Each structure stands twice: as structure tokens, then as C-alpha cells.
Amino acid sequence: MQRRVVVTGIGMCTPLGLGREASWKACVAGQSGIGPITHFDSTHYSTHFGGEVKGLDPTTFIDRREAKHLDLFVIFALYAAEEAIAHARLQINPEPADKPGLFNPHAPLETGARSDGSYPCDRIGVFIGAGLGGVSHIESTHTTLTERGPGRISPYFVPQIIINMAPGLLSIRKGIKGPNMSQVSACATGAHAIGEAARTIMDGAADVMIAGGTEATVSPLGVGGFNAMRALSTRNDAPERASRPFDLDRDGFVIAEGAGLLILEERESALRRGVPILAELVGYGRTADGYHMTSPCIDGEGAQRCMRMALRQAYQHGVAASEIGYVNAHGTSTRQGDIAETVALKAVFGDHARKLAVSSTKSMTGHLLGAAGGIEAAFSILALQDGIMPPTINLEKPDPECDLDYVPNQARPTTTRAALSNSFGFGGTNASLIFIKHS
């Protein structure tokens, strides 16, 4: 029987707050984390606002000298990882399961937690992705190059910008020696990292995975680049009302930053450890549109296949499509994207689509790009655990082409046992995750 994968820890930092509890409390309350940009002077940009992480002091969990050489996307990931590891009560044993020496194909490999509840360091892996990586250090280093010459480029520059430094530095800090890599798939990154981490556990290559996404692109290039595409909202007079998925007056997404990570664990081993199980991951879909660089198919054909793939896997775990009660939508607040996802949901779920509660938490957090899938997977799990579905705020004038129940403006109680989280990205890449209450 295929190994089952459960969630035992959540860590995050978002524009809504530092940590899991603060972010979730604000999300359920329908608060907006969007405000004026403070990272740089946005006077000459079309958009003057974004979703910034506020009040994070890296020196509370990273040595001051080391923190100076790290990009924000790595700092966000390390913060979320510390919280997730503590939440899961994860203990890392420095003694590996795979001992050094001559390869013996007949020697059994130790798996699962040891008698003291710890895991061998090589049975734990880290998959943390980002969409763009160290943009702010690319910007500052280019300034150094042009103003002071190549001899003044920092020797830390390359490690500062490469995306896999997020999982790499976490593994170095914690002595984690299992599978380690970064998924990079634009706005589907965090969800892909979680899905691929689950497959790694199912395949037996690890017993525990720390997985999700991180992003720090509220920067001159990030904002300027998306402004050039006319993808960002320019509702500068009311930033907190700018992210309005499924609303007729939406005018683009709101760029944001942060990180969201999950601790995934092989179910039987988690049960032996006696830790609380937050949810079980039962479905994972991943497809491509094969259609356009930045726009989805109007009928959401790629998203349809992605959701069906996840539902097919969930069905093998005894979960029917009709049991999905909540959908955390990709819902970016763009005209084409919101309509395509609505059309796809109706095509996949048929009559049941009218019974779905669908919300976009991006209405509150903004769009965290590569970190979005991790944050939204966490919110989906917390919705199941606490029995409450977060709202889609700023939904004042519903788009007639977006005609499902989007949980407008106020959270709503739920008894559903299954939730779907969608993430779609530039390049036509799609990811869908299905979580259920553990039993």
C-alpha cells in the first residue's frame, strides 16, 4: 500500500502577520495586509502599494553577521521553517540512517522515527521554491557594478540570489541531509514544492519533508516589471481595497511577499511519535496549459485537467469529488484568470460547483507569487481544522462571469472534511492540492 502523507506543522510570515496564528486570525477576520510600499521610493511607479511583511527582526533567529548577507526571500523561509519545525515538534538526529561504507544492496535501510521520536538527518528533506529569488540583491549589486566597478561586487552575491539557497541554508543550519532542492514554477511554485515533497515521502525517499515557497519581490524591478505588463492594480487611493478577486471592478493583482511552509510526514511514523496531525494530503495534480506565456486558456482547460488529476488521486484514498466543500482559489484579481478558474471549477465539478464555497485569500494577503501556494495550502488546512472558511474581501460588485459562491466579505463556518487549493502560474503551469481532515 502506498505510504500516506500527513501535515504535522505549519510556519508562515505574511503581510497579515508574523507567524501562523497571527496570519490566520487576520485572515479569518477579513483584514487586509496591503499598504503603501516602504521598501523603496515608489513615487515614479504606477503602483505605490503592496503586501509587505512587517516587524520581522532577522537577528532574533539568525546571527547578525549572517543576516547581513542573506536576501529577504531566504530570511522569510528560515523564519517560517523555524515555526513549522517547532509546531511539528520535529527532532533531527545527526546520526544518518544510511551509514557510510561499501554499498550492500541487501542491507535494510532504516526508515521512520527512532525510539526517542527523532528522525535520522538523511530521512528529512527540504523542498522550498521561489519564483524570482534574490531580486533586491540583483538590483543593489547592479548599482554597485555601475557606480563602483566589478571589483566591489560582494563575494556573497551569487549565494544571495540563487533560489536553492533557501532550502540549502536551512539544511546547513539544521543538519538536514535528505532530498534538497527548489521548485521554480512562477505562482505555482509553493504548491508544486508541497506536491513533489509528498511524492518523495510516498516513494520512500524520505520520511519527513519541509516544503513550500518563499518570495521577496516588493522591489523596484518586481513592481516595475509587473507594472510594465499592466498586471498590477493601480488603485493607489485605497490600497486595502485593491485586491478584489471576482469583482467586476478589479484592475489587477497586488504584489506581496512572505513565506509559507508545511511539515509533511509519513502517517504511520507521525502516529508513533504521537504528534497532532493537522490534515492528510490525498491529492496532487500538475499540468501545463501549453497555450500562452502569461494568459490562461479562457475555458481553463489546463486547470481542469490539473484538478481532475488531483481528484483522481483523492478518489483512490476514498475521497469523492462531492466531498470537496471548500476551494482556496488561485483568484489573483485579474480579469482573465478569475474567469478561467470559475469556468474550470464548473466544468470539473458540474452541479456540485454551486455547492462549493470558493474564496481567494489573496484579497487579503495580495499575491505572494512563488510563496502563494504554501500560504494558501496552510490556510486550507487551517480552514478544515478550525471549521471556518476565510472570506474573499472587497467583493462588492460580482462579475457576472464569476458566478459561484466566493464567501464574500465575511468568514463562514463549515463542517466540510475536504479542501482543494489551486495555484496557477506564468508559462501555463498548474498545481492543485487536496487536503482532508485526518481520521
Catalytic residue numbers, as ranges:
187, 330, 367
Task: Specify the pairing of strand 324-328 against strand 418-425.
Answer: parallel
Cell numbers standing for residue 437: 481532515
Helix (H) or strand (E) holding 358: strand 357-359
What is the number of residues in the chain?
439
How many C-beta atoms surround the C-beta of residue 315 within 10 A?
Answer: 15
User: Closest by alpha carbon to 238, among 3, 49, 45?
Assistant: 49
Cell for 324? 470537496
**What single-letter DSSP state applies at residue 178?**
S
Phi (first) and psi of residue 194, to 5 degrees: -65, -45
**Strand-strand pairing, 124-129 and 208-215:** parallel
Distance CA 398, CA 406 (A): 9
d(CA 230, CA 301): 24
What is the CB neighbour count within 10 angstroms for residue 55? Answer: 8
* Sequence-ordered list of residues with C-beta below 8 angstroms from that of 282, at least 6 positions apart, any chain: 313, 314, 317, 319, 418, 434, 435, 436
Short-list 379, 422, 176, 98, CA closest to 262: 379
Rounded Cα distance, 275 and 66, in Å: 33
Give φ, ψ of 227 to 5 degrees.
-60, -40
Q: Are 284 and 227 in contact (CB under 8 A)?
A: no
Say if residues 130 and 371 touch (Cβ distance below 8 Å).
yes
What's the alpha-carbon Rg for the chain, to the nearest Å?
A: 21
Q: Which among 399, 188, 193 is positioned nearest to 296, based on CA atoms? A: 188
